[in-house]
């Protein structure tokens, strides 16, 4: 296995030399370079000496087996449940949820996440979390006593949640705010139509192809209204479509033009929205690193065409799950 020092700079150096989808495919198959969610989950179970049968009782036998076999990456709700089952620290939960699963890490400025963090840090069982969430709702409604709630560390909980009530921002609101800004303030005109009202058909076609553009527009409008969650892969597509990793954008900001400065532009917006930056040892993220490179160095290559090419190739090899492309 390659050591932990393998980073984005090394990945870019390799990816820049790959000539086509076949080369990308072969690169993504190499266990030498990648460390995915299933690997990290297995490692944490082993390091914490947790009995798998006990985990199966808490998480479900089928679910746990699917996650360990890499058949599916759990959604955020299940990731939080896993963190409780593994008795993770805040740092461990951040890595598992954000770095290895691509979801938004637990955010102390989001009231629900603040409750999860409080319970996780104090080793309160996952089964008791719903009671703390109800107690949080009572505090939001102005009940500062919580006399009807039999919870541990009540005074600390009241103080912790109350300190966040004056200036909190939900995860959903945070993502939507950054997404709207990106779409309303494109850094580089890539020959697409931009609008202060959000997504337009040319951007949707650039991201998803002409065939799926209407479906993409409907989905993206729902995301902007908070009716659908914003996924990391979709967020990256929008960043690229709005020119945040384009050469012209880097030049205008006064920075030296390089692939790394382009990737930095993507990472800045990902972190603003609460996502983990592009991780060189994750196959999904490496696909988008390669996509950023291709759309920057080849103006005739659209993001949709490039991802379609990879998607078709991977499906032929029964590896469609490598590309988060189809719903």
323 Cβ neighbours under 8 A, 6+ residues apart: 284, 287, 307, 310, 311, 314
Average pLDDT, stretch 86-114?
A: 91
Average pLDDT, stretch 133-148?
A: 91
Measured between alpha carbons, how far is 92 from 44 in angstroms, rounded to an integer? 9
52, 64 in Cβ contact below 8 A?
yes
Please provide the average confidence, as pLDDT, over all residues in the chain. 80
Q: Residue 69 half-sphere exposure, CB side, CA atoms within 13 Å? A: 7
Q: Is 42 helix (H, G, I), strand (E, B) or coil?
A: helix
**How many DSSP H helices and E strands does the chain contain?**
18, 0
Task: Quickly state the pLDDT bin for 316 (edges 50, 70, 90).
Answer: low
Q: Is 195 helix (H, G, I), strand (E, B) or coil?
A: strand
pLDDT in tens, 175-222: 999 988 888 877 765 556 656 555 677 777 777 777 777 887 888 888
Q: Exposed (0-12), middle (13-18) or buried (19+): which is 196, by Cβ within 10 Å?
A: exposed
194, 203 in Cβ contact below 8 A?
yes
Average pLDDT, stretch 299-325?
A: 60
187, 285 in Cβ contact below 8 A?
no
Average pLDDT, stretch 133-140?
A: 94
Average pLDDT, stretch 121-143?
A: 94
Average pLDDT, stretch 84-103?
A: 92
Instruction: Examine the pLDDT at 125 and tell me if it is beyond 70.
Output: yes
Q: Comparing C-alpha atoms, which of 15, 11, 23 is closest to residue 310?
A: 23
More confident: 129 or 109:
129
pLDDT reported for residue 45: 96
pLDDT reported for residue 11: 78
pLDDT reported for residue 325: 31
pLDDT reported for residue 70: 80
pLDDT reported for residue 320: 41
* Segments making up each domain of the chain, as ranges: 33-162, 171-322
Instruction: Examine the pLDDT at 314 and tell me if it is beyond 80.
Output: no
pLDDT in tens, 13-61: 888 787 777 788 788 777 677 777 888 999 999 999 999 999 999 999 9
Measured between alpha carbons, how far is 205 from 316 in angstroms, rounded to an integer? 24
Of 76-85, 107-116, 185-194, 204-213, the range with the lowest mean pLDDT is: 185-194
Reading the block at residue 122, the tokens are 């104090």
Handedness of CA 21, 24, 29, 30 (dihedral sign): positive
Q: Within a 10 A sphere around the Cβ of 326, how many other Cβ atoms?
A: 10
pLDDT in tens, 212-257: 778 878 888 888 888 888 888 888 888 877 777 655 544 555 555 5
Q: What is the pTM of this model?
A: 0.76
pLDDT in tens, 273-297: 888 888 877 877 888 888 777 766 6
Inter-CA distances, 69 with 72, 73, 89, 148, 278, Å: 8, 10, 24, 44, 23
Q: Comparing C-alpha atoms, which of 24, 34, 25, 15 is closest to residue 279?
A: 34
The residue written with tokens 């461990």 in the block is 92
């Amino acid at each position: 296995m390659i050591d932990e020092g393998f980073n984005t700079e090394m990945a870019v150096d390799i990816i820049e030399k790959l000539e086509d989808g076949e080369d990308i495919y072969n690169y993504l198959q190499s266990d030498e370079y990648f460390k995915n969610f299933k690997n990290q989950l297995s490692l944490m179970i082993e390091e914490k000496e947790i009995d798998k049968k006990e985990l199966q009782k808490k998480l479900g036998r089928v679910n746990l087996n699917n996650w360990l076999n890499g058949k599916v990456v759990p959604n955020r709700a299940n990731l939080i449940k896993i963190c409780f089952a593994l008795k993770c620290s805040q740092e461990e939960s951040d890595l598992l949820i954000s770095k290895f699963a691509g979801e938004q890490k637990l955010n102390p400025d989001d009231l629900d996440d603040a409750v999860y963090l409080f319970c996780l840090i104090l080793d309160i069982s996952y089964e008791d979390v719903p009671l703390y969430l109800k107690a949080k709702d009572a505090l939001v409604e102005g009940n500062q006593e919580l006399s009807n709630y039999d919870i541990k560390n009540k005074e600390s909980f009241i103080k912790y949640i109350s300190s966040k009530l004056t200036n909190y921002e939900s995860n959903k609101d945070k993502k939507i705010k950054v997404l709207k800004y990106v779409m309303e303030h494109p850094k580089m005109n890539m020959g697409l139509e931009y609008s202060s009202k959000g997504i337009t058909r040319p951007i949707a076609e650039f991201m998803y192809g002409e065939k799926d553009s209407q479906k993409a527009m409907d989905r993206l409008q729902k995301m902007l209204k908070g009716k659908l969650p914003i996924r990391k892969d979709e967020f990256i597509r929008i960043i690229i479509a709005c020119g945040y990793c384009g050469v012209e954008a880097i030049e205008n900001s006064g920075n030296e033009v390089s692939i790394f400065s382009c990737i930095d532009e993507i990472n800045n917006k990902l972190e603003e929205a609460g996502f983990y930056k592009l991780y060189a040892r994750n196959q999904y993220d490496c696909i988008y690193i390669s996509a950023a490179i291709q759309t920057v160095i080849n103006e005739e290559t659209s993001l949709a065409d490039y991802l379609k090419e990879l998607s078709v190739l991977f499906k032929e090899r029964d590896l469609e799950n490598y590309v988060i492309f189809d719903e």
